Amino acid sequence: ASTFKPEQARVPPALQLPSPPITKFKIGLCQLSVTADKERNIAHARAAIEEAAEKGAKLVVLPEIWNSPYSNDSFPIYAEDIDAGPDASPSTAMLSEAARLLKITIVGGSIPEHSGDKLYNTCCVFDADGKLKAKHRKIHLFDIDIPGKITFKESQTLTAGETPTVVDTEVGRIGIGICYDIRFQELAMLYAARGAHLICYPGAFNMTTGPLHWELLQRARAVDNQLYVATCAPARDVDGGYVAWGHSTLIGPFGEVLATTEHDEAIIISEIDYSQIELRRTNLPLEKQRRGDLYQLVDVQR
């Protein structure tokens, strides 16, 4: 095994998993119905966040595109300038205030963001003081064409993000991906190499790929990297232009489904126990068994 050079399998070498501020806590996944009424969507999301916090959640996750219908026509209309402050971004202003008042960490799903002349699909993370800790712009755009099933091209309106996002929070080190980002295992491997305890993927898989791939991809990302994976989707609207699969889920570091739901509105409360990461990595010491003599994952930005 000494000839495998596992430390060379990740370049730069993987960071040691940091000691989280808290080892065990409750997470809330808010599977929300989304309408064309933006003010209603914001108020509805706030009520769900408050309910999750009342049930003990220290981390609350929202769905992808929760303040707007999911369509290329809607993105420019509902987009907000997050960097311009609360008046220009009522959605993130609500998230900041809710996080501060409830003393929780919020992974704010995603909303359409306009910055200059570009539009992004953006997830904001707020700490328990209401401070914006990170902003992840969807890296891999959802451009798909399955004849007779579904055609959607986010690139018609959206610009791809350029930066992987790992953020230290009161509930551990979290990697952020948005929906289609989950299909690219290299991103999850990069997050694991940067010491993430948990990867959150707000997402809205559709009725074609959802039944086949949604849970499969979550479990694969978790078991390959021996960490927690949390996903949060919108509730299904069969009359909407884009019909989401739903099934928000929490996966453990052994690939086990810890909590999930169907397609209706729901608030899932489940427990994360980071000691399970160390246990699984001790039982299955993948990091020590990687073949750095044969392959490498290169973290370009690090």
Catalytic member of 26, 38, 135, 138:
138
**Known catalytic residue at 288:** no
Facing residues of 231 across strands?
Answer: 201, 249
Residue 251, token pair as written in the block: 């996966």
Residue 213, token pair as written in the block: 């791939």
Whole-angstrom CA distances from 226 to 76, 196, 220, 262, 281 are 38, 10, 10, 25, 7
Catalytic member of 30, 58, 64, 287:
64
* Nearest C-alpha neighbor of 298 from the set 199, 164, 198: 164
**Known catalytic residue at 153:** no
| 71 and 98 Cβ atoms separated by less than 8 Å | no
Cα four-point dihedral sign 91, 22, 203, 210: negative
Whole-angstrom CA distances from 221 to 65, 137, 210, 256 are 22, 20, 16, 11
Residue 248, token pair as written in the block: 């928000």
The three-class DSSP label of residue 216 is helix
* Nearest C-alpha neighbor of 228 from the set 290, 275, 296, 297: 275
**Known catalytic residue at 97:** no
What single DSSP character describes residue 17?
P
Catalytic member of 30, 123, 124, 179:
179
Q: Which residues does the annotation mark as catalytic?
A: 64, 138, 179
